[in-house]
Structure formats: structure tokens, C-alpha cells
Structure 1
Amino acid sequence: MKALVLSGGAGTRLRPITHTSAKQLVPVANKPVLFYGLEAIADAGVSEVGIVVGDTADEIREAVGDGSRFGLDVTYIPQDAPLGLAHAVLIAQDFLGDDDFVMYLGDNFIVGGITALVEEFRAERPDAQILLTKVPNPTSFGVAELDEAGVVVGLEEKPKKPKSDLALVGVYLFTPAIHEAVRSIEPSWRGELEITHAIQWLIDGKRDVRSTTISGYWKDTGNVTDMLEVNRSVLETLEPLQEGTVDERTEIIGRVRIEQGAKVCGSRIVGPVVIGAGSVISDAYIGPFTSVSENCRIEDSEIEYSIVLSGSSVTGVRRVEASLIGRDVEVTPAPRNPSAHRLVLGDHSKVQISS
């Protein structure tokens, strides 16, 4: 069995961060989202991985390398444009060959991994197996319709009038039957080859398509709100560690991870919080669910429920929260300009000016 990991999207919903960085490499608890998926694939016993890459290919290659750090053998598959999930399967056919495979969207996050799902698929080998979860906004996802027996009878991509609230999670398992399906469908109104259409083709052909509905935690980290929520979820499981230096004036409360080379002085840190290697925290408050990457500086400031990427500084700022701060960013107070009132008043006017 092989894995196909999709890492070619543009990440428009995470701009401006993704103008200069691949969305799959934005860190959650100081580790790129993509790495969590690769670790889940390795844990499931799959070692041969094809990574579909686009405009950010060089950055993905530099971060992942040959995959050996994850116990994987990685092959990179260039995609000229993001033309749909089924298109990714189409261009990966030479890599996939006649093997079963798991397709994993590189910006998705699933707590608990995919080992049980992969084992179930290996044991029973339906033509396709999809993962579903209930969502409050099904119009934003691919949506599955099940009959009374729980059998998948239809799929729609981002329907205006959804037939259920069951969205497709970004993990799919296929036998080689999917290759004929992706060759048989036409582009959608979006100009993309939709994987939902390919799976529908299998359903219409009376092939064995099964679903598993999960109640655990899943997020598509395509926007800032979801990215912060995933960061919160991962930090909930944080194991405290102190490899950096902390002075006697600092108060540490709860689960806090201070990585090697980090320095904390005169500050109050309330976990769960992770402070990256080489970062300096001085006379600051770091509140719960905050990840500070490597080589950052937080000084005379307060920050909570946020992600700060590498090389950035927040100095002299009263309060920052629910924020995603990119790499090499400087956040400082705005200058205080003298204020004055300029008035042109008619006769007998009455004016009240707050002091």
C-alpha cells in the first residue's frame, strides 16, 4: 500500500502568510501541519509516499527531504496547476501503479491518526472508502448522502442545497479501480477534476464504496480560525519541558514547553504554551494556547491564543490575541501623535470637547 499526499494548493484563505510560505508548512505547536500527516501515514505502516507539489515545491522538498526522518521513502510529483483532487490521482498513476493507496490532504489534521482506518481497509478492500464527519456548514465541503442502511448513495462537491451534514474529511482510501474513474469524468464548473465525481462514478457503476463517520477531532487548516483551533487542540496534549533558561522572576503556570536556547526573564507564562529554540521572552505575559516559534522576541507585551512564526518580534504592545503572525514580522506600538482640535465656529455656537 502507498500514500498520496497533496501539497500543491495555493492556500488563498491563509493569505498573506501563504504569499511567501506553503500552507502545509505553517506550524501548529511549532511543527508544520504537513508533518503530522506524514507521521500518521508512517504510523499506519505505509512507507512509500508520493507528494504532489505545485508552486511551493522547493519549500516542501527542503522541509521534507527524502522522507527518511519520518521513516518514509518520498517521491515528488509535480502538478502544473491545482486542477482538482482527481487530477492529482491522474498524474500520480505511474507512481501508484496497481497498488492500493491512501490519499491524504496535506493541510488536514486528524487527532488520533489513520491507523485504524488503514487496517480496516486492508482487511476488507472495498473499491473506495471515505471518511465523513458532521459539520455545521456543509456547503463548504464535499457532502455525502447515505441511505437508511448507511450505504453511500451520492456525493456532491460544495452543494448549494446539501442533502446531509456529512462532509468528506481529507483522507480517502482506494484500490486501483479509482484510476478508471478519474479518467472517465469531466472537469466541473470550477474547471477541476473532482474526486467526488470520480467516487460517484464508482457508485453509479455499482462498485463497493464505503464510509466511516468519525466523531473525533478533524480540521481543514485552510484559514486562520481553524489554524488557531488546531494549535489549541495540539497544545492540549503538550508535555511540559524546560530546556531553556528561566530566571527567578518568572512565573510558570501549567504545561509549558521551553525549548533549547530559549530565555525567559521577568515574565508570566500560563500554559499550555510552547516557546521555540532561541526565542527571548522578557517582561511579558504569554497566555494559554500560544505557540512561539524559534528565534522570536516577545518583550514588554501580552499575547494569548496565537501563533508567532520564526524570527518575529512583539515589543511594547499592550495585548495581542487570536492572531497568526508570520515570519520575520515586527509588531510595535504606533507613535503617539499630539492631538489638537481645529475649529471654525459660527456666531453663538456651543461646542463640547472631551478632554
Structure 2
Amino acid sequence: MNIIIPMAGMGKRMRPHTLTVPKPLVPIAGKPIVQRLVEDIHKVCREKLDEIGFIIGHFGEQVEKDLLAIAESVGAKGRIFYQEEALGTAHAIMCAESLLEGNVVVAFADTLFKADFVLDTKQEGIIWVQKVEDPRAFGVVKLDAKGVITDFVEKPEQFVSDLAIIGIYYFKDGAYLRSELKYLLDNNITEKGEFQLTNALENMKQKGTAFVPGKVTEWLDCGNKNATVYTNQRYLEFIKDTPLVHASAKIENSVIIPPVFIGANAVIKNSVVGPHVSVGDKTKIVDSRVQNSIVQKDSIIANANIANSMLGNSASYEGTPHDLSVGDFNTIKQ
């Protein structure tokens, strides 16, 4: 089983947090988004992962090392591929053309999920979906009486289905998918100037490929600050029965309201932290109240009362209550 993870986007909706760190490496409950994604796919697959291909921009040597380590953590070989231009989902997948062999999962790195099914590798294709209240903002699938997908509909104005495509796909025959993607690129078949995976899926369906839905129990978006803070909250709830406070963290005269993740060598002094807070390594929180927030590594919070907030790496905040989105290396005093 190979996994292909396109993640070359600029993450503009997450700025300023993506100015120095790619969005998929923003931490959720102490681990990067992309690591959470890989681990959750691994649990659903329940079989050996051979190679994981990360399709990235030029994010730097350290990012590449981190991604390769994520692959290694689930027993797979990591591979780095580059998408030089943002030419669509089909083009991004084809950047990892050599991994399109045998069983393949394609997963876009701005979405996380929880599921209680085991991937049935005997199926020709599986498209992860989640039932949503208002499907007009999503691509959706229609099913026949046997539960096979009959149509892909992008942002329907009229109700046709409430099963939204979440951006994770399984293909039994990666080589077949590769040939269909190559056909799009070779013949310059685009939608709004980009090569789209959905066009390949439609062609495969028309040729007889039976796609079925993989219905997840929860779909978590990491597209912007508020969504990411909420996803952090949900993940802390998922893993609250595991130890979440590092043994080297120093907690003095403080109240910790679980679930809370506190990283290595973090310092919490004269503060109330939680619930639903992730604190990165070596971060200091002093004389403050922090709840429902993500605070990354090497940051300082003092004399503050914050909620529903994100602070980047090496950020410093001292002041009064706010709903914040503070990027890396910023300093704010009030």
C-alpha cells in the first residue's frame, strides 16, 4: 500500500501561521496535521504501508526531514516530490507518478477524519465521505440502491446528496489511475485552467469502475484558524485517555483543566490552562488564563486571558483578553 499526500499549497487562509511553516506541519494536539492524517489512514488500512509520497513546494531541508520521519514512524519509506506550479489536484498526484502502482491511497493534507470502518482493499475504489447539513459548499456523491457511486456533483445548488467528499481516496489499481491522470495531462483537459482528479474519477466510472463510499464518523477541517482550533479541541477529546503532559514540563502553582497537551520543557506558572489547549515544547505561560487554543514551540504568554486562539513558534504575547491569530516570531504587548 502506498500513500500520496499532496501538500504543496501556500495555506493562505492560515496566514500568518503558514508564512514560516507549511500548513500540514501546524500541530494538532502535539503532532503535525499531516502526521495525524498518516496515522489515521494507517489505522483504517490495517496493513503494511510501503511508501508515502509527500508532494510539496520548496519548504526547506528541515521540513523534508520531518516528513520522512513521519513516514518512518508508521514503518513506511518516505519520498519527497515537488510540484513547481499549482496546476490542480490531478497534476499534483502525477508528481508522485512512480508511486501509482498497486493499492494506493490519495489524501489531501488539509483534512482529518475519524472512522470506524476497516478499508476493504477488494473494492475497486473508495471515496471517503461525510454527511453534511448543507452540501452546497462541497463536492458530493450520489449512490444507487446498491451503495455504488453514480455521480460526482460539485457544489450543487439543488439537493442531490448530503454525502460530501472529504479529500481521501483509495484505488485498488494505482497504475490504472495513473493512466487516466496522464490522459488528462496529455490532452490538456482542464477545469478552470487546472487538471482535476474528479475528471479522472468520472472517466473511470464511465468505463465501469465501481466506486463506493467510505463513510467517516467525523470530518475535521484545518483550512483556517478557527477550524484548526476546533480540530485541536476534537483531537484532544479523542486522545484524552492517553498521557498528554510531558514528564519534563514544569507546572507551578497552576490549574490544568483536561484535556490539555503540554510539550517537553514547557513551563506553566501561576496560570489556569485548559480545557482544549495544546502547548508546544519550551513554551512558557505565566500569570495567565488560556483555553481552547494552540500555542506552538518556544513562545511566551504572560499576564493574558486568551481563548479560541493560535500563537506560532517563538511568539510572545503579554496583554489583555483577545481572540488571537499570531504568527511565528511576533511580539505583542498591551
The TM-score, its normalising length taken from structure 2, stands at 0.85
Aligned to 2:219: 218
Aligned to 1:141: 138
Q: Does 1:324 align with 2:310?
A: yes
In the TM superposition, what whole-angstrom CA distance separates every residue of 1:33-74 from its partner, at most 9, and x where no partner exists?
Answer: 111222234443222221111132534312123532331111
Deviations 1:262-288 (A, max 9, x none): 211111111111211111111111120
Q: In structure 1, what is the Cα distance between the partners aligned to 2:309 and 2:21? A: 17
Would the alpha carbon gap of residues 206 and 42 (structure 1) be closer, same or farther in structure 2, given more than 3 Å must change? closer
Matches within 5 A, 1:99-248: 99-112=102-115, 116-117=118-119, 120-121=120-121, 124-126=122-124, 128-161=125-158, 163-174=160-171, 175=173, 176-185=175-184, 186-189=189-192, 191-214=193-216, 216-236=217-237, 237-239=239-241, 241=243
Q: Contact 1:142/1:196 (CA < 8 Å) preserved in 2?
A: no
How far, CA to CA, are the matches of 1:32 and 1:329 in structure 2? Answer: 18
Say if 1:54 and 1:82, in contact at 8 Å, map to a contact too.
no
Secondary structure of 1:60 counterpart:
helix
Q: Which of 44, 49, 56 is matched with 1:46 structurally?
A: 49
AA matched with 2:81: I
Question: Does the residue aligned with 2:18 lie in a helix, a strand or coil?
Answer: helix
TM-score (norm 1): 0.80
Structure 2 residues without counterparts, runs of 5 or longer = 321-334
> What residue ranges of structure 1 are gaps of 5+ in the alignment?
242-256, 335-355
The residue type paired with residue 75 of structure 2 is G
Equivalent residue for 1:20? 20
Counterpart CA distance in 2 for 1:144 and 1:95 is 26
Distance 1:306 1:205 in 2: 48
Residue identity matched to 1:152 = I
Displacement, 1:125? 3.6
- Cα distance in 1 between the residues matched to 2:94 and 2:278: 38
Contact preservation (8 Å) 2:221, 2:227: yes
RMSD value, Cα = 2.1
CA deviation digits over 1:95-124, x for unaligned, max 9?
32x32211122232122487x11xx12xx2
Amino acid in the other structure paired with 1:151: V
Do the aligned residues in 2 keep the contact of 1:276 with 1:292 (CA within 8 Å)? yes
Identical amino acids, percent of aligned pairs: 28
SS at match of 1:219: strand
Note if contact 1:42-1:72 (Cα within 8 Å) is conserved in structure 2. Answer: no
